[in-house]
Amino acid sequence: MREATDEPFLALRHALRCLDHEGITVVCDSLLNISRRALAGEPVVEVLTPTEVEAAFDGAPAHIRRCLDRCDARADSGTETMIRLRLRSKRVKVEPQAAIPGVGRVDALVGDRLIIEADSVEHHLTEAGFRKDRRKDREAARQGLLHMRLTYQDVVYNWPETEAAIMSAIRDGHHRAPRRRNAV
């Protein structure tokens, strides 16, 4: 059976008309991440180059073109992009794919010490992935870092509760190194 499929460039052009700003940024982050990984020599099939992604925005209204400015090729998943965008909309400084000595890469670092991981069943419940996550958690705890693991459901379906927990930790200063925390 044959299926009709748009070429990636045309599909992106249509997405720019159909998706909200967050959705557009999620799609473009994913495309740019694949391109970044291809340039780094990873065995991925590049869908669109960064130049082609940018060209898809030609002629789009200014509010759509601004989505391109919010893109970050470091995001490894759509949920990571959503977390970054939503927290930044609250004026929270988020560093995507931060490298922490001894811990490794984390999906997002808020402030000095609040680690946020967007965990999917597919990538985190293999035996090796499970062990790696627990090693990272132990090392993060040893260093005094706070680790929040979020699921797809937490980000997509339960964001108000998830956001409240994150913002509560930030209000309480848990994202700052102890020497910088305000006394309560």
45-79 pLDDT per residue, tens = 878 999 999 999 999 999 999 999 999 999 999 99
pLDDT tens per residue across span 155-168 = 999 999 999 999 99
How much is the pLDDT for 184? 45
Query: Structure pTM?
Result: 0.87
DSSP classification of residue 174: T
Domains of the chain with bracketed CATH: 1-73 (no CATH), 77-184 (3.40.960.10)
Distances 124 to 59, 104, 113 between C-alpha atoms, Å: 40, 15, 22
Q: In this structure, what token pair is assigned to residue 51?
A: 């130049």
Beta strands 104-110; 114-119: pairing state = antiparallel
Three-state SS for 53? Answer: helix
Cα separation of 153 and 36, whole Å? 27
DSSP single-letter state for residue 119: E
What band does 1 get if pLDDT is binned at 50, 70 and 90? low
| Dihedral sign from CA coordinates of 102, 103, 107, 112 | negative
User: In which order are the strands placed within the sheet that holds 146-151?
Assistant: 94-100, 104-110, 114-119, 146-151
